[in-house]
Amino acid sequence: MSDFDKRLSCRIDELRQLYMTLYNNDEQAFDYFISMLEEYESQRSKELRSWDKKRSRKTRDTDWYCDNKRFGMLAYVDSFAGTLEGVRSHLPYISEMKVNYLHLMPLLKSPKGKSDGGYAVSDFRCVDERYGTMKDLSDLARDCHERGISLCLDFVMNHTSEDHEWARRARAGEKEYQDRYFFYDNWDEPSRLEKSLPEVFPTTAPGNFSWCDGVGKVVMTTFYPYQWDLNYHNPVVFNDMTANMLFLCNQGVDIIRLDATPYIWKTPGTNCRNLPEVHTLVRMMRIACELVCPGTLLLGEVVMEPKEVVPYFGTLERPECHLLYNVTTMASTWHTVATKDTRLLADQLQKVFDLPKEYVFLNYLRCHDDIGWGLDYHFLSQFGIEEVAHKRFLNDFFRGYVFGSGARGELYNDDPRLGDARLCGTCASLCGIEAAEYENDPDKLHEAVLLDIMLHAFLLTLSGIPVIYSGDEIGQLNDYTYRDDPEKAADSRYLHRGRLSWEDVAKRRIKTSREGMIYNALRRLEGIRSRYKVFQNAADTWLVPVDCGYGDHSVLGIGRYLDGEKLLAFFNFSGETKTVHTGEPEEYTVLAGSPSSADSFPVSSFVLPRYGFSWYLKKYE
């Protein structure tokens, strides 16, 4: 019996039940699906089979991606190195940073001018010629694997470009291909459905439907008019899109980022978000990967509040996504930077700490997208905070409109009616580095760099996989040149998607430079994290009570414990030095932060500098 047949025998009953329930007992479609899976498994290379075998092993019942040695970076190919060949040439730099999880933003073929940053795919099996070829992608994946680097790629499964072959044939009147999308003969039904559908981009792309001149019908377009939503009620769509995903896996892609996961199933009359059928689809895709490429991970893009995010892990018995984004922690972190009040962040972290340790989050301070203020306003209301006014304050603060703020950012999708604008900006610019350098103020620059480093230390303290955006390792600033590009000027997210300056990267060797201070601090912290098992996902985690004086909530304490190693970490979100009281009776070794040198240190009471942090370690025999 082949390895595929062995794996299939363990999963066939569940897979059949899921498929038949969703697709009305369509035996022909199911049989095709199974034969398709077997075909792609047979095409998997010897090297990738070896990679699968290595990744399928567990250490002490823990999957490889749950350890403390994962460190990720996110980058656009063109901004980082121009082409895939350019990325290959810079793999030594990536390895130097100890990055072993490389997420390259969308790079498949998409029409210039109507690509939404690569999220309007016109061919799922072709790399955009601006970046190279599919062979270049395979070669890059091979070189990454030789260095122990896992490659992550976006899989845009909710929609295709209007230039995709399916869309072109639908526009030409072929019903088979129109059935792969949502078409309506007139505006009557779409107008009725709009009443229950929220808008994703109310200012730049209002509405969820667009008129298609070519066919004289209305088509569903949740995101942009040139992105046509796929109809997963049609099993042909699911079969063929799963095949496209597996094709990418067979090029050496290790992590598949399922873009816009909550949107992929549409039921008229609902808000078409987070429907039960979405979980059925994701579970079947998880099983497909386990059958064909068992070393592959699924990363779900679910940018919603925790109660809506966690279900995408599935259950321990029937898991769905291997990884999910910790988006609420990200937004709550920047809220804390603005307010100097850690209570919301602590409350949100406690909810994460209470989850099963098998659930693994990707933690980040920023990504390619904007920062949305989807905070827990019910929790904040007890402090007299009102949602719209608070969002306005946060956006004002991070644009430098609040006295004392050195942050420099811009709004994205501003809707004055709802007060629901989101925010753009690099980590360094939001921390105040850009303003400090512009003002040539050494003290402000020192403070802003301290804040930047403290935030990254906080990121590395959390369970899961820390991921930085390319350029943040050297404190890259906002790029305002996007305003001069007609294709980018309307999208302020390009503010923080600027081209990486390799001249600035070279400055990392200058320890006193902004680039050198941030880069070397980050490398040191990542090195410490990778050496101590207490940073593994299996560690117990808790909030450490701290007392900085009545009404002062500017310091956050986090505890971790695993196999005789206990870590206490403290973070000062204030620009003032704090005396911290913990009631902790034992002495600890200083791993990083303040004080900078001490063999052992009592943490019952200590001083934490402005925007300072401390990692304290205690080992038990």
pLDDT digits (tens, 9 = 90+) for 252-288: 999 999 999 999 999 988 999 999 999 999 999 999 9
% the chain with pLDDT above 90: 88
What pLDDT is stored for residue 418 in this prediction?
A: 65
Domain count, the chain: 2
Phi/psi at 520 (nearest 5 deg)? -70, -35
Kindly state the average pLDDT of the residues 192-203: 88
Domain containing 171: what range? 159-229
From 19-23, 214-218, 501-505, the region with the lowest mean pLDDT:
214-218
What pLDDT is stored for residue 212 in this prediction?
A: 94
- For residue 276, whether the previous peptide bond is cis, meaning omega lies within 30 degrees of 0, is no
Residue 326: inside a domain, yes or no? Answer: no
Structure tokens at 480: 């305002």
Residue 180: inside a domain, yes or no? Answer: yes
User: Closest by alpha carbon to 306, among 387, 375, 364?
Assistant: 375
Phi/psi at 597 (nearest 5 deg)? -150, 120
From 33-42, 52-61, 81-90, 96-105, the region with the lowest mean pLDDT:
52-61
Quick one: pLDDT band at residue 306, thresholds 50, 70, 90?
A: confident
Quick one: pLDDT band at residue 159, thresholds 50, 70, 90?
A: very high
What pLDDT is stored for residue 403 in this prediction?
A: 94
For strands 255-258 and 297-300, give the pairing.
parallel
* Backbone φ/ψ region at 524: left (φ over 0), alpha (ψ -120 to 50), beta: alpha
Residue 116: inside a domain, yes or no? Answer: no
Residues marked as catalytic: 259, 301
Question: Residues in the chain, how many?
Answer: 621
CA distance 256 to 151: 9
Domain boundary among 229, 244, 274: 229
What pLDDT is stored for residue 294 in this prediction?
A: 94
Domain boundary among 229, 244, 260: 229
Q: Where are the alpha helices (DSSP H) in 253-386?
A: 276-292, 306-309, 327-339, 343-353, 377-380
CA distance 264 to 274: 9
The string of pLDDT tens digits covering residues 496-527 is: 999 999 999 999 999 999 999 999 999 999 99
The string of pLDDT tens digits covering residues 81-111 is: 999 999 999 999 999 999 999 999 999 999 9
Residue 240: inside a domain, yes or no? Answer: no
For strands 422-424 and 108-109, give the pairing.
unpaired
Strands, DSSP E only, in 371-506?
410-412, 422-424, 465-469
CA distance 71 to 128: 27
**HEC sequence for 201-223:** ECCCECCCEEEECCCCEEEECCC
Residues 6 or more apart in contact with residue 17 via CB below 8 angstroms: none
What pLDDT is stored for residue 417 in this prediction?
A: 67
Question: Crossing angle of helices 235-249/276-292, nearest 10°?
Answer: 40
The string of pLDDT tens digits covering residues 135-158 is: 999 999 999 999 999 999 999 999
Question: What are 556's strand-pairing partners?
Answer: 571
**CATH number of 568's domain:** 2.60.40.1180
Quick one: pLDDT band at residue 621, thresholds 50, 70, 90?
A: confident
Nearest 10 degrees: CA dihedral of 445, 446, 448, 452?
Answer: 130
The string of pLDDT tens digits covering residues 440-454 is: 999 999 999 999 999
Residue 139: inside a domain, yes or no? Answer: no
User: Closest by alpha carbon to 607, among 595, 596, 598?
Assistant: 595
**Mean pLDDT computed over every residue of the chain:** 94
Residue 16: inside a domain, yes or no? Answer: no
Domain boundary among 209, 229, 249: 229
Residue 201: inside a domain, yes or no? Answer: yes
Nearest 10 degrees: CA dihedral of 350, 568, 593, 425?
Answer: -10
Residue 217: inside a domain, yes or no? Answer: yes
Kindly state the average pLDDT of the residues 576-584: 94
CA distance 40 to 24: 25
Handedness of CA 466, 470, 474, 480 (dihedral sign): negative
C-alpha distances out from residue 121 to 54, 136, 140, 241, Å: 32, 18, 21, 12
What pLDDT is stored for residue 116 in this prediction?
A: 86
Kindly state the average pLDDT of the residues 580-595: 91
What pLDDT is stored for residue 305 in this prediction?
A: 75
Quick one: pLDDT band at residue 54, thresholds 50, 70, 90?
A: confident
The string of pLDDT tens digits covering residues 418-444 is: 677 899 999 999 999 999 999 999 999
Quick one: pLDDT band at residue 598, thresholds 50, 70, 90?
A: low
CA distance 259 to 120: 11
What pLDDT is stored for residue 60 in this prediction?
A: 57
- Run of H or E residues at 574: none
Check if the beta carbon of residue 335 is closer than 8 Å to that of residue 383.
Answer: no
C-alpha distances out from residue 303 to 228, 297, 360, 509, Å: 21, 18, 15, 37
Quick one: pLDDT band at residue 602, thresholds 50, 70, 90?
A: confident
What pLDDT is stored for residue 597 in this prediction?
A: 64
CA distance 320 to 314: 5
Quick one: pLDDT band at residue 59, thresholds 50, 70, 90?
A: low
Kindly state the average pLDDT of the residues 216-244: 97
The string of pLDDT tens digits covering residues 543-563 is: 999 999 999 999 999 999 999
